[in-house]
Amino acid sequence: MIPFNIPAVVGKEAYYLNELINDRVKFSGDGIFTQKCSALIESLYGAKKVLLTTSCTHALEMAAILIDIQPGDEVIMPSYTFVSTANAFVLRGAKIIFVDIRPDTMNIDEMKIEEAITTRTKAIVPVHYAGVSCEMDIIMQIANKYNLMVVEDAAQGVNSYYKGKALGTIGHLGCYSFHETKNYNCGEGGALLINDERFIERAEIIREKGTNRSKFFRGQVDKYGWVDIGSSYLPSELNAAYLYGQLENAELINQNRLSSWQYYYEKLQALADEGYINLPVVPEICRHNAHMFYIKVRDLVERTELIEYLKIMEIGAVFHYIPLHSSIAGQNYSVFHGEDIVTTQESDVLLRLPMYYNLTKSDIMVVVDAIKSFYKNENRGVHIERNYISGW
């Protein structure tokens, strides 16, 4: 059995958890391990300020509060994303404006953003799918031109780069996920990256239930109280201790995943050359983190059959997002600007293969051989060539 995901354990996690349990000084949030994690993320990726959160969902919610989203404001994002990207802003009363994605990276099509901007537009939320960066230079240019905020959903993009800059550090705010399905995890967890210093003070308050408790602990005020809206967005030290063991070994995990990604790519190349499948595209200016290995097949029917076939062979391959504009809530809270040319078509044919830390080469070969046997034995005929528009 080769599952789709196994959460990473690299060795030091239990040691730090034990240390914490033995010390019994502080289990709640913002202790030593939270500080260590934030400092490490700041120094590794060059963020001005990092606040650990209970999830990426909560980091996105904090971002929506920080950029002061008001009822009726519009927020531009791709429809091909996780529900939290939209929900965080809908909770503040925003209307979500979806624009189409690019077929090569599955990221928001930067050339379609400008035409979706109105006087109500407040923010752009690029989602770095599979840890491959959106075209951030153009997105930041548009944001500057119209005075918009940029919140990066970098849930999948921890330790990925765009032109040498770490994802999550380019927009005004960035959001990371440490959910067990992500590259570095603590079960459930996340981080808010604050790149625009104006947001630091208020972010600390929002994260601490709307109180200035952080300032109090630093001795900057002599009592603390309720000063703003907020919630409980700080994770327990137990989560942070586990996470520190992962972040300390980020490069170990990264290299291991990248070599699996590369192996898949090489071994599936022949099938792609013969026109059966398409392989993922990583633009030259992006350094990705092998968050995901996906293939694209001919159509929805073929994908359903392939998932079923792999399931019989005990291989966990899964499809991904159902575009949000076609969901029940999406119909209430969003509109799709322009035509959906790529989003639905490409999401229908994308299939994610098993990918996790310490996935073995022999297991990858089992997956590759299963895919090959699916196409070769069934004699399924060759794909129609899809011509990717290469904008970069």
Ligand X SMILES: *Cc1c(COP(=O)(O)O)cnc(C)c1O
Give me the residues that bind ligand X (CB under 6 A), please. Answer: 55-57, 81-82, 84-85, 127, 153, 155-156, 177, 179, 190
In this structure, the strands spanning 286-287 and 161-162 are: antiparallel
* Beta carbon of residue 291, minimum distance to ligand X (angstroms, whole number): 8
57 vs 212, beta carbon nearer ligand X: 57
In this structure, the strands spanning 95-99 and 161-162 are: unpaired
* Beta carbon of residue 13, minimum distance to ligand X (angstroms, whole number): 18
Joined together, the tokens standing for residue 162 give 């765009």
What is the rounded CA–CA span in Å between residue 193 and residue 172?
9
* Beta carbon of residue 88, minimum distance to ligand X (angstroms, whole number): 9
Residue 338 DSSP class = S
* Beta carbon of residue 85, minimum distance to ligand X (angstroms, whole number): 5
* Beta carbon of residue 55, minimum distance to ligand X (angstroms, whole number): 3
* Beta carbon of residue 344, minimum distance to ligand X (angstroms, whole number): 18
* Cα three-residue angle 128-191-221, rounded to 5 degrees: 145
With CA atoms as reference, report the closest residue to 190 among 35, 66, 54, 30.
54
185 vs 212, beta carbon nearer ligand X: 185
Q: Are 56 and 84 in contact (CB under 8 A)?
A: yes
Residue appearing with tokens 């080769």:
2
* Beta carbon of residue 257, minimum distance to ligand X (angstroms, whole number): 15
What is the rounded CA–CA span in Å between residue 135 and residue 391?
9
81 vs 133, beta carbon nearer ligand X: 81
Q: 164 phi and psi, to 5 degrees?
A: 85, -5
215 vs 320, beta carbon nearer ligand X: 320
With CA atoms as reference, report the closest residue to 173 among 287, 66, 53, 82.
66
Side chain identity at 50, as an amino acid letter? V
231 vs 272, beta carbon nearer ligand X: 231
86 vs 277, beta carbon nearer ligand X: 86
Q: Are 366 and 315 in contact (CB under 8 A)?
A: yes
233 vs 375, beta carbon nearer ligand X: 233
